[in-house]
Amino acid sequence: MDTLTHALSGALVGRLLARRRASPPAEAASRGAPAAALPPVWQMVVAGAVAATFPDFDFILGWVSELTYLRGHRGVTHSLLLLPLWGLLIAWLLARFWRRGGRPGADWRAFYGVACAAILAHIVGDLITQFGTMILAPLSDRRFGLGTTFIIDLVFTGIIVAGLGASALWRRSRVPAAAALMLLAGWVGVQAVGRAEAIAAARAYAAAHGIEAVAIDAAPRPASPFNWTAIVFDGERYHYAHLNTRRREPLLAAAGDHFIRRLSAPYLPLSMAKWEVRERFGAGGTRALAQAVWNAEDFAFYRWFAMFPVLDHAENGPGGQWCANFVDLRFLTPGRDEIPFRYGLCGSERGWRLFERELGGLRWVLRD
């Protein structure tokens, strides 16, 4: 999920958990309650937004190296095991910030619950995508992902914005925030139905073509909860199709149509789906090179990272080196000019050299 949506979701959680002070501090103190024990609602909303943004501060790993970021993104800052610690840190910093200069304010305990809940909202927001989140870090680097939601979902973000807008109009009520969170859960449920339908279509394709599937999956795509890339892996080849599980007729889109229609047009009805087949290691003379690259120790990070890896290019590279790179089908989105994470190796007598293939050519990557 994008960072802006994370921040908005945290603000929504903050509004839901915020409680209004029923009496001024003097009256509260006369009843034996601590003065300013409850932060104002706006501080809870800000606290939620800040806490929900915090896990994406792992971008600083990119300052170490590109591969450090790739290995560590959605790692310890997204860990359920470390969540209480991160919540404590954020709550303490926020309380200290608002009490700076001797100003009255709530202590860290008032912000701890919303900080933990907002970080949890961030983790769940990433968990529903297919990129993978290391929720058990640092004990395990296994990536978990429900795979129901595309990385940028305008409807998902729009529900949050609507909930915050309604909360601003009905300031004394937490009902709009609660309703928005319920709608978000319902929207993810609709996406889960679309995912189940896409996987069922992939199973039907495998059965109809006598394919002994090793793995069957589906990758979410933009513009509709029913747009998917269905994937069947038979151990050597990937069979995949871009399809819409509810469409009965193809959607036609011209260059002048709005971008949502153009994004959705490549996904065909189930009865018209065009299945493509790609060898994981290619065919012919490039197969041995692709296998050598795939099994190289220098390529271990990509074997860990990729879900549906297939050979992308194999060619004679600079300086007489033979180069091969792979692409992960979960990032193969129709209409997108650039596919991210196309890593490979160039080999020579001096060993392997890591690169990422971009539109402009090969970009050499420094290893840790």
Listed residue (22, 42, 26) closest to 98, CA to CA = 42
Taking only Cα atoms into account, the Rg of the chain, rounded to an integer number of angstroms, comes to 24
Q: How far apart are CA 1 and CA 148, in angstroms?
A: 12
How many other C-beta atoms are found inside a 10 Å radius of the C-beta of residue 22? 8
Per-residue tokens: 332: 């193969």
255 within 8 A of 233, measured Cβ to Cβ:
no
Please give the pLDDT value at position 349: 59
Identity of the amino acid at 199: I
- Position 259 scores a pLDDT of 85
Measured between alpha carbons, how far apart are the two ends of the chain, in Å?
27
Q: What is the pTM of this model?
A: 0.90
| Cβ-based neighbours of 74, under 8 Å, separated by 6 or more | 55, 58, 126, 131, 132, 133, 134, 143
Mean pLDDT by 10 residues, the chain (368 residues): 96 92 50 61 96 96 90 95 97 91 80 97 97 95 95 96 96 95 98 98 97 96 96 96 96 85 93 95 87 93 95 79 92 87 85 88 82
| CB contact burial 92-126 (16+ within 10 A = b; e otherwise) | bbbbeebeeeeeebbbbebbbebbbbbbbbbbbbb
Using an 8 Å Cβ cutoff, are 12 and 48 in contact? yes
**Side-chain-side CA neighbours of residue 225 (13 Å):** 16
* Spans of all domains in the chain: 3-146, 198-279, 284-364
Question: How is residue 95 written in tokens?
Answer: 């309380």
Q: Which two three-digit tokens encode residue 4?
A: 């802006």
11 within 8 A of 48, measured Cβ to Cβ: yes
Name every residue whose Cβ is closer than 8 Å to that of residue 326 and which is 6 or more positions away in sequence.
Answer: 290, 293, 294, 302, 306, 309, 310, 311, 312, 342, 343, 344
174-209 pLDDT per residue, tens: 999 999 999 999 999 999 999 999 999 999 999 999
Compute CA distances 15 → 72, 106, 108, 200, 252, whole Å: 31, 17, 17, 39, 42
* Dihedral, CA of residue 193, residue 147, residue 136 and residue 178, to nearest 10: -50
